[in-house]
Chain A
Amino acid sequence: MVSKKVVTVVFVIAILLFAFSIIMTFSNSNYSPKNAALSDDTVQPDVEQAQVSIIVNKPAHAPASN
């Protein structure tokens, strides 16, 4: 038969192990994906300009308009 003293010691050890496990589990569970921040900035439009150019000289004999 197991003595009362042994049972008490085992019980105390079990309590300590249990308490340690619970404390360590909760102390390391503070990371959450919600803490990761993802931000986006406002998109600014980009405006560019280009040129279409021509030099039109008068024909020597300009035709009559229709």
Chain B
Amino acid sequence: MAKSFNNQANKNLTIFVFVFFAISLILFAYTLYNLTVKLTGYDVGYVNLTISTLVDINVTTNTVNWGPGVVTDPNLNASLVTAGSAAGTATRGNWSGTNAKALVVENTGNVNCSLAISGVKNAATFFGGNASHQLYQWNVSNKETGACGAWGETSMQNTWANVNTSAATVCNKLDYHPGNDEMYIDFKLVVPADATLLGALSDTITISGNTAV
């Protein structure tokens, strides 16, 4: 009876040892496979990646210069309008539009950005004279299709509006991909014939690029 029990116990122990051996062998083979793959296929390392986000705008056409001119008689005012990349046109006045083209703003950074614009003057402080015969306006539009993916302040979007002296975020998301990243800022000046401010007149337009909204 005792011998039979011992035989059974030995048999069980032997089976356990061989099962344990089989499991260990499988585990060993798997570990060895992993090691081999790592040795021949890839290595373990650390990657520290810093992506520099750059908001950068460039005003590629940065001057609207009408040069000298006069409101032709007997008109009460002259209208001077830029039209994108074409020469500006002057009516009821003899200014030349050769150097009067829209400002062109390009997103030269590596992320979409917002665009805020402001002027310093309004029509009255630009020209003086009869308020009903003067205008100082701008009109913001895409130079390249879909450049502005999300408009902000829409009062001057593809339409004439008085120049703001406080910054207006006209575009919330100006694209940065070449071929899709340029916008126009056109200007309309209505010069009164009785302008009290004469000679060389100018205004400064500030264009700010910031994180896309």
Contact = CB atoms under 8 A, between A and B. Distances in A.
A51 B204 contact: yes
B80 A66 contact: no
A34 to B, nearest CB: 11
Interface in A9-44: 10-11, 13-15, 17-18, 20-22, 24-25, 28, 30-31, 35-41, 43-44
Contacts of A60: 70, 73
Interface residues of B, number: 82
Nearest to A58: B198
Contacts of B30: 21
Contacts of A64: 194
A26 B105 CA distance: 57
B41 to A, nearest CB: 13
Contact of A56 (B54, B111, B197): B197
Interface residues of A, number: 49
Contacts of B23: 14, 18
B13 interface: yes
A66 to B, nearest CB: 6
A21 B211 CA distance: 52
Given A48-B58, A50-B63, A50-B205, A35 B193 contact: no
B71 A59 contact: yes
